[in-house]
A = this chain, B = another copy of it.
Amino acid sequence: MADLVGNLLVAQSGGPTAVINASVAGVIQEAGRHPDQIEEIYGGLNGILGILNEDLIDLQEEKRQAIEGLKHTPAAALGTCRYKIDFKKKPEQAAREMDRLFQVFQAHNIRYFFYAGGNDSQDTAHKIHEQAIQRGHEMRIIGVPKTIDNDLPHTDHCPGYGSVIKYSATTVMEIAADVGSMATDDGSCCIIEVMGRGAGWIAAGTVLARRRPGEAPHIILVPEVPFEQDRFLAKVGETVAALRYCIVVVGEGLKNAAGEEIAADKTRLDAFGHPVLSGAAERLADIVAENLRFKTRSVKLGYAQRAAAHCASQTDVEEAAACGEAAVRAAVSGKSGFMVKLVRLQNKPYKWTTDLQALADRPAEVRCVGKGPGRKETVAARPQRRHGFGPPVVAAAILAAVEGGILPPGPNARYRWRVPALPA
């Protein structure tokens, strides 16, 4: 079974990350090491859409240097899409689309298919795997994990997550230094909105900016913990009383006790029918300004955070590439219907490896911080300790950057040599 010979197809799906191209590079580079089994290396443009449209490109013609360069290129180099082959809602169309996919697979002798994406994309990979068996088209299908949201089950953390929190935590540190250095009579508050939809991993991960007690972020609001306005305002007030400023990080999907997103615009839906989330920070800024009358500003990082290759985590790049390589190794050894996952071997120093998880094992729910929506317990300020998720690797990357000169110690308002006051 291991000596299946044919062509390879790789495609990307869902929102890009800073390192999704590194996974594609890993696939291409590893494929080149198995010339006996993998003949041609194709890329599908814009994910599953490109395969349906037979928009394939020949990646083997690309220069070695360009493939290596992918590891530091943001966005989805092959193009991406949010397109679901929907057997539940549109069974007839889905059946036609599957026919078309396998027509393309057969015509181009695609025997190896790798799909880099998040929850919806792994679901698509699983369906294609099942169809290949049903149709008797011998084929190996492996999913490559990808999402800044870090909400894929089974994997210790997702490729893409390390980079987004390195960038976001760096931004929180820089903004905190800025806001904290401005003297105001009444105090000030800055609210920074990060992505993640219903999962608070990105918001929680910005805690890496807090290297000493009292440092920002002072408040982290995650969608998994219902927003309580009174408690929030009290905490902002206490923080400003103590420090004269307060930095809040909010996940875009923050919900109230009724489970309603405080900033959801239900009149606008994305391609999967999810409501567009925007303005959580703006909404909170209004609440603070109305109730506490501090100088209040908001920042919405939006796409900038997932595209920020200029601030990517090198560990994340390496893990993303390794996931692509592992996918190819699994497939050429005969495996199909799996997703590659990252496994933490130890924390200090951080060591990791890859393993496989059957795509059939995927739970219906995404993975959230703590126990999921509706839980009453407060998410601690240091979720990486309590929940054992990925950050040691990213913390190391951030701290290395910091110690390398981003925020060196310098004179500041807590300076020790004060000039003696004049006699009264």
Binding site for B on A (CB under 8 A): 15-16, 21, 42-43, 45-47, 49-50, 54-59, 61-62, 65-67, 69-70, 72-83, 103-104, 107-108, 170-171, 174-175, 177-184, 190, 192, 268, 270-271, 276, 278-279, 282, 285, 289, 295, 297-304, 306-311, 401, 405-413, 415, 417-419, 421-422
Q: How many copies does the complex hold?
A: 2
Give min CB distance, A412 to chain B, whole Å: 5
Q: Which of B16, B54, B413 contacts A422 (CB 8 A)?
A: B54
Q: Which of B49, B276, B299 contacts A304 (CB 8 A)?
A: B299
Give min CB distance, A249 to chain B, whole Å: 12
How far apart sit A200 and B16, CA to CA, in the bound complex (Å)?
Answer: 30
How far apart sit A321 and B418, CA to CA, in the bound complex (Å)?
Answer: 24
Give min CB distance, A93 to chain B, whole Å: 14
Q: Which of B15, B175, B278, B308 contacts A182 (CB 8 A)?
A: B15
How far apart sit A298 and B61, CA to CA, in the bound complex (Å)?
Answer: 37
How far apart sit A58 and B417, CA to CA, in the bound complex (Å)?
Answer: 6
In the complex the two chains form, is B304's CB within 8 Å of A171's CB?
A: yes
Other contacts beyond A66-B408, A77-B410: 10, CB < 8 A: A15-B178, A16-B177, A16-B182, A62-B417, A74-B178, A81-B184, A175-B303, A271-B295, A278-B298, A298-B300
Question: Which residues of chain B have C-beta atoms less than 8 A from A180's C-beta?
Answer: 75
In the complex the two chains form, is B59's CB within 8 Å of A411's CB?
A: yes
In the complex the two chains form, is A74's CB within 8 Å of B174's CB?
A: yes
In the complex the two chains form, is A182's CB within 8 Å of B82's CB?
A: yes
Q: Which of B178, B289, B311 contacts A303 (CB 8 A)?
A: B178
A-B CB proximity, top 3 nearest: A69-B408, A75-B177, A46-B183
In the complex the two chains form, is B306's CB within 8 Å of A178's CB?
A: yes
How far apart sit A304 and B42, CA to CA, in the bound complex (Å)?
Answer: 40
In the complex the two chains form, is B78's CB within 8 Å of A413's CB?
A: yes
In the complex the two chains form, is B183's CB within 8 Å of A49's CB?
A: yes
In the complex the two chains form, is B307's CB within 8 Å of A310's CB?
A: no
Question: Which residues of chain B have C-beta atoms less than 8 A from A58's C-beta?
Answer: 417-419
How far apart sit A285 and B44, CA to CA, in the bound complex (Å)?
Answer: 31
Question: Which residues of chain B have C-beta atoms less than 8 A from A107's C-beta?
Answer: 422
Question: Which residues of chain B have C-beta atoms less than 8 A from A411's C-beta?
Answer: 43, 57, 59, 62, 66-67, 70, 77-78
Question: Which residues of chain B have C-beta atoms less than 8 A from A419's C-beta?
Answer: 42, 54, 56-58, 108
In the complex the two chains form, is B74's CB within 8 Å of A418's CB?
A: no
